Amino acid sequence: MNIIRYDEIAEQGRRQVWSSNIADVHRRAMEGLRTYYKNDEQTRMFASIALGRQLSNVLYSLDGEFCGKTILDLGCGNRNFVDAGLLFRTRNFEPWLCRGLQVLGAKPIGVDYNCLDGETFEHYSVDLADEDCLNMIADHSVDVANASALFDSPFLKSYLFLSSRKLKQNIITQLERVLKPEGAFVYDATGLLTFGMEDGSF
């Protein structure tokens, strides 16, 4: 299993390999998501930012090909997130990546602590700190696992007070089973320092 941080991909210039088609991929995904944001410019912006932050890294890990690939999005987001500080519902944390991947012909699997009812991609509501939290996913069936801002999730910090060490151990143990031998785990290191993981790595 390859474990790759987003910033490692950026620092080594790996994303430049796909720079010629990432703009087109992003455009196609956003066009397919129009039914979600319609004429709401703020929601369109949320979707665009979420995709822009994640698509290129996942695309790199798949050698530029989404179609038919199984992608597991850990902490994918949900449509019922309420900002803990401002106490209002925000669409910033909806499962934009899974929706976009589905548009692009991939097979996304979204997992999140909160309810994902109503989404058309394969999804599960789970606590990633629980042992065997991914037991519904078959062995060696996932091409790429992604985690964006999972370790800096306002929900995990505000409501669950989740131990980073327990979360890390559970995720790696589970991914070793569900990822294909050549599979990769790509993740955003944002927030890891907050949890005491000094080098931001696993």
Tally the domains of the chain. 1
Is 198 within a domain?
Answer: no
Is 112 within a domain?
Answer: yes
Identify the pLDDT of residue 194.
41
Identify the pLDDT of residue 134.
95
Torsion (CA) 42, 153, 56, 130 in degrees, nearest 10: -130
Domain assignment of residue 48, given as a range = 2-187
User: Is residue 58 within 8 Å of 6, Cβ to Cβ?
Assistant: no
CA distance 24 to 75: 26
Identify the pLDDT of residue 139.
97
Is 127 within a domain?
Answer: yes
Rounded to the nearest integer, the mean pLDDT of the chain is: 81
State the CATH number of the domain containing residue 155.
Answer: 3.40.50
Confidence of residue 32 (pLDDT cuts 50, 70, 90): very high
User: Is residue 15 within 8 Å of 53, Cβ to Cβ?
Assistant: no
Backbone angles phi, psi at 75, to 5 degrees: 65, 50
Identify the pLDDT of residue 83.
46
CA distance 27 to 29: 5
Identify the pLDDT of residue 154.
59
Is 164 within a domain?
Answer: yes
Is 200 within a domain?
Answer: no
Q: Please compute the mean of the pLDDT values over residues 65-90 and round it to a whole number.
A: 74
Lowest mean pLDDT of 53-57, 96-100, 119-123, 188-192, name the range. 188-192
Predicted confidence (pLDDT) at residue 198 exceeds the cutoff of 70: no
Is 34 within a domain?
Answer: yes
